[in-house]
Amino acid sequence: MNNNPDFQTNSKKVLTIEDILKRRITNKTKIAPLNPIISIGDTVFCATNEISFISGKQKAGKTSVATVILSTCLIDNPTFDTLGITGKYCENRPIIYIDSEQSERSSQNILKRVAENLGLAEAPENLHVYNFHQYRPKELREAFEVLLRHFKDAFLWFLDGISDMIDSVNNEVDANELMHFLNVEKAKSDAGMILFLHENPTSTNDKMRGHLGSIGGRKCFSSISVSKDKCKQIHAIKSVEQREGKNFDPVFFEFDKTTSKMVSITGTDYKKAKSELGTDGNDFMNSKYKDLIGLDERVLRKE
């Protein structure tokens, strides 16, 4: 949390030299250490006072990944397949999921999937899922601000449909203002924020939509991309941007009809290949999974 009383959010204030000099960072400036909330492999994806993005094309599996993330934070020692995701236990602090993309039925399914992962009849009471599918951009923004004031002790925020808060993802002024607002709010809290944004439908890379995607990629702590091969029904989680730490190796998963859950398909073959190649395993990825996922060499290598 930013405890500096001189931290101002009012853009109309006339800055003085004293205001500016107080923003200087020195070796003695007291800054809280990184507080990880979500990690994928050994890489921190989401942390306290930070904004992270989950991107992907339509129906790629973003919500499935979010459901696993939610589940890992709602139990101390998860026994289900976490897809290589590690979450810090929330200790009953509120986790808020705002859904402006899906139907009410789909929003409720998030609760059901979490409960199934945890082996419970119902999802924990500290998981709050809200469906704002019918709200206009200004109403959605207002609802979010009201919830921010209400859940002051929130542990984690999910905004599934951040682009719905503005009229157009290509409106530079609105996109800049929204990201500024989110950065101010995340600095006030002891929570992490995970934002969902679609990728350009015709692109072959991980570019998030519009100016909002461009500024979000620059301003965020971390971003991951979720993709799906519709023919093979195989999904991938890929590391796109990491402000701290290295990019993690892609995680592959699929829907298991026996358990009706998403399960990892990376395993002993991948680990063996990493050992034999003495590299990060990308050569093996290209040969074994290139055709499955439909990703070219440049995407897998992030070139």
Q: Are 153 and 93 in contact (CB under 8 A)?
A: yes
Q: How much is the average pLDDT of 179-196?
A: 93
pLDDT for the residue 266: 62
Q: What is the pLDDT of residues 16-53, one digit of tens each?
A: 999 999 999 999 999 889 999 999 999 999 999 999 99
Q: Are 274 and 260 in contact (CB under 8 A)?
A: no
**Above 90 in pLDDT, residue 170?**
yes
Q: Are 189 and 49 in contact (CB under 8 A)?
A: yes
Q: What is the mean pLDDT of the chain?
A: 85
Q: Are 230 and 55 in contact (CB under 8 A)?
A: no
pLDDT for the residue 11: 52
Confidence of residue 12 (pLDDT cuts 50, 70, 90): low
High-pLDDT (> 70) share of the chain, %: 83
Q: Is 43 left (phi over 0), alpha (psi -120 to 50) or beta?
A: beta
Confidence of residue 189 (pLDDT cuts 50, 70, 90): confident
Q: Which tops the pLDDT comparison, 288 or 44?
A: 44
DSSP-derived secondary structure for 259-274: TTEEEE---HHHHHHH
Q: How much is the average pLDDT of 75-101?
A: 96
pLDDT for the residue 299: 40
Q: How many CA atoms lie within 13 A of 85 on its CB side?
A: 30
Q: Which two tokens stand for residue 274?
A: 């990493």
**Above 70 in pLDDT, residue 286?**
no
Q: Which helix (H) or strand (E) holds 174?
A: helix 172-188
pLDDT for the residue 281: 37
pLDDT for the residue 290: 46
pLDDT for the residue 232: 80
Model pTM score: 0.82
Q: How much is the average pLDDT of 272-284?
A: 37
